[in-house]
Amino acid sequence: MDHARRGDRPMSRLDSMLRRLTAQRDGLNWAALQISGIPGEVLDMGLGNGRTYDHLREILPGRRIRVMDRVLQCHPSCTPPEADFLMGEAEPMLERLAAEGAPIVLAHYDFGMGIKADDVAEAARLSPLIARVMVPGGLIISGQPLVGFTPVAAPDSIPPERYLFYRA
């Protein structure tokens, strides 16, 4: 997997996960500050166990947070309100959001099965649909490369290969 090098020895999967989660947390915290002046909602693409969603609702208590996933299988403490959970495939759910006119000011993209080529292709395929729900100036934090958005330099503390930042 991602056996990055640390000095002259490989990084353990424990170190690697710590780097990834730290980058994620720092990126979310940074993005929350960036959008503080812009009205709009938040979109978490990929609920998973709910860790990111839990963090988003902690750092953005005043925002409506929409959450998307094929299934609801998060930790019970992180279950989103029914009205905010979009259960299903990404395409129809993004289309539903776009039809509703949901004004997304911060999106977190975390889809992917760990097969890099497939994950990159999916992210490219979904990018135009994501663009339709974003408000101008909104930010996207992504674990996969997206297309059609303006890359944004992340804070220095975030290893650039771990998370990607875009402005809509």
Which residues of this chain interact with a second copy, rule CB under 8 A? 1, 3, 9-15, 17-18, 21-22, 24-25, 28, 49-52, 54-55, 57-59, 75, 77-78
14 or 153: whose CB is closer to a second copy?
Answer: 14
Provide the minimum distance between the beta carbon of 17 and a second copy in the complex, in angstroms, as a whole number.
Answer: 6
Provide the minimum distance between the beta carbon of 141 and a second copy in the complex, in angstroms, as a whole number.
Answer: 13
Closest CA to 93 of 119, 71, 124: 71
64 or 167: whose CB is closer to a second copy?
Answer: 64
Provide the minimum distance between the beta carbon of 54 and a second copy in the complex, in angstroms, as a whole number.
Answer: 4
CA distance 29 to 106: 11
Cβ neighbours, 10 Å, residue 85: 20
CA distance 47 to 64: 15
33 or 99: whose CB is closer to a second copy?
Answer: 33
| Residue 67 and residue 86 in contact, taking contact as beta carbons nearer than 8 Å | yes
49 or 125: whose CB is closer to a second copy?
Answer: 49
Provide the minimum distance between the beta carbon of 23 and a second copy in the complex, in angstroms, as a whole number.
Answer: 11
| Residue 71 and residue 50 in contact, taking contact as beta carbons nearer than 8 Å | no
CA angle 137, 79, 15 (to 5 degrees): 70
36 or 49: whose CB is closer to a second copy?
Answer: 49
Name the residue with tokens 């353990």: 12
Tokens, residue 109: 């993209």
Provide the minimum distance between the beta carbon of 28 and a second copy in the complex, in angstroms, as a whole number.
Answer: 8
